[in-house]
Amino acid sequence: QWIYLNGDFVQKHEAKISVYDHGFLYGDGVFEGIRVYEGNVFRLQEHLDRLYNSAKSIMLSIPHTKEEMKNLVVQTLQKNQLHNAYIRLVISRGVGNLGLDPTSCGTPQVIIIAEELALFPKELYDSGLEIVTVATRRNRPDVLSPKVKSLNYLNNILVKIEASLAGVSEALMLNDQGYVAEGSADNVFIVKGNELFTPPGYVGALEGITRNAIIEIAKDLGYVVKEEPFTRHDVYVADEVFLTGTAAEVIAVVKVDGRVIGEGKPGKETKNLLEAFRKRVVLEGEK
């Protein structure tokens, strides 16, 4: 497996960075997770726009244009001969001294990893996920915008730890006012009749590329989509609940904090949207 590392392709076991890199020392950097379906990178432009916006927000200047970055992503796929893959694009602040000040850092490091994807097992798509809500809160948008997909994922990791302590594989994070924000690395939707609700960005959700694709697809299919804050209660009494993300695509949630959602199995609308999403992915690749 070849990894792109600052201008070279190196083998996985040789892809190493300095312990003085501020991405390692402080989580100072940004990243993206991107899917490739049958050789087509899904919504690469949107991922790059989000990456460059995240970088701009934390005053990190990526040492490539978006066009160059696109080519590097494609080259990484070709080098690894992958047609269906998950790509991890990482830009870290670079190698500096032990101080926090990023001005000590040299050029930001650019890393591209492409791997075959390990999704949730198929059984989980058939049965749906059981999840919980956790004590970890999404950071406030006025502190560090949740729109910034930074390398500092401690909150999200704590969510995973709390989920696994509760014996489940995923969990929902609330914001500091108690509104539902998102999962550890997924957005959340609830369904009521033919209406879909998902938390707006200001509640503390990353504006997921999959989330945005589902909003578009749902509107095309005639659903009413509302980006509105909601609470745990609304989740408990929803007809259906599902999560969206690059790796998970669309996955049903059938139990939240012990409350059975709907009939306790993946609902009709969730299945419908997953099917439409998978079709859209193929269609966009053919364009």
Cα–Cα distance measured from residue 222 to residue 112, given in angstroms and rounded to the nearest whole number: 38
CA distance 61 to 105: 12
Q: How far is residue 217's CA from residue 271's CA, in Å, rounded to a whole number?
A: 13
> Coil, strand or helix: which one is 241?
strand
Task: Give whichever of 105 and 270 is closer to ligand PLP, judged by the CB atom.
Answer: 270
The single residue listed with the structure tokens 């670079």 is 94
User: Would you tell me how many other CB atoms lie within 10 Å of the CB of residue 265?
Assistant: 15
Nearer to ligand PLP, 28 or 262 (CB): 28
**What three-state secondary structure class fits 253?**
strand
Catalytic residue, chosen from 149, 219, 265, 271, is 149
Residue 54 touching ligand PLP (CB under 6 A): no
Q: Residues 100-139 vs ligand PLP: string with x where CB under 6 A?
A: ----------------------------------------
Count of residues interacting with ligand PLP (CB under 6 A)? 14
Assess 186 for contact with ligand PLP (CB under 6 A).
Answer: yes
Is position 149 annotated as part of the catalytic site? yes
* Rounded least distance, CB 245 to ligand PLP, Å: 4
Contact 147, 53 (CB under 8 A): yes
CB nearer to ligand PLP: pick between 170 and 186: 186
**Rounded least distance, CB 40 to ligand PLP, Å:** 16
How many helices (H) and strands (E) the chain has is answered by 9, 15
Give the residue with the Cβ less far from ligand PLP, 33 or 200.
33
Q: Please, which residue, 33 or 285, has the CB nearer to ligand PLP?
A: 33
- Is position 198 an interface residue for ligand PLP (rule: CB under 6 A)? no
- What DSSP character marks residue 83? S
Nearest Cα to 41, choosing from 91, 114, 148?
A: 114
| Nearest Cα residue to 142 out of 183, 203, 93 | 203
With respect to ligand PLP, which residue has the nearer C-beta, 95 or 139?
Answer: 139
| 233 Cβ neighbours under 8 A, 6+ residues apart | none
- Residue 206 within binding range of ligand PLP, rule CB under 6 A: yes
Which residue in the set 73, 111, 185, 217 belongs to the binding site for ligand PLP (CB under 6 A)?
Answer: 185
Q: Residue 252 Cβ, how far from ligand PLP at the closest point, in Å?
A: 16
Note the Cα 213 to chain centre separation in Å: 13
Angle at 190 between CA 162 and CA 208, to 5 degrees: 70
Q: Is 201 in the site for ligand PLP (CB under 6 A)?
A: no
User: Using CB under 6 A, which of 27, 33, 102, 285 touches ligand PLP?
Assistant: 33
| Interface of this chain with ligand PLP, residues 213 to 272, rule: CB under 6 A | 244-246
Q: Which two tokens stand for residue 285?
A: 């690749």
Q: State how far the Cα of 174 lies from the Cα of 172, in Å rounded to an integer.
A: 7
C-beta of 14: minimal distance to ligand PLP in Å? 27
Q: What positions carry a catalytic annotation? A: 149
Residues within the interface to ligand PLP (CB under 6 A): 33, 156, 182, 185-187, 206, 208-211, 244-246
